[in-house]
Amino acid sequence: MPELVWTRQAVQDVEDIKSYIGRTSPRYATLVAERIVGSVERLHEFPSSGRVVPEFNRDDVREVIWGNYRVVYRIRTNSVDVLTVYHGARLLRLQIPQ
């Protein structure tokens, strides 16, 4: 089973989302952050369960959608790397390392 790995960028993205929502509702901010993280827990068992990210059209770069957020990840031989989390209304600006 591949390991689920959160990149620094993805961790920072979740922290930023939590901070933004927390300005008006700290309780809801915590819930949203927990749900985003929980939405990808299945990936270590089912790495191909997310859809292919249309902007990249690569089978190894996929996403899970939770609410308004897109959680982008890359499938590797021994890991599933969560690359970024962002609001679906924003443009995806992501460089995928080879």
Q: Is-contact 71 65, C-beta < 8 A?
A: yes
Q: What is the mean pLDDT of residues 29-57?
A: 93
Instruction: Note the pLDDT of residue 91.
Output: 66
**β-sheet bridge partners, residue 80:** 4, 75
pTM check: above 0.85: yes
Share of the chain above pLDDT 70, in %: 96
pLDDT digits (tens, 9 = 90+) for 54-86: 988 899 999 999 999 999 999 999 999 999 999
**Across the chain, what does the average pLDDT equal?**
91
CATH superfamily of 3-87: RelE-like (3.30.2310.20)
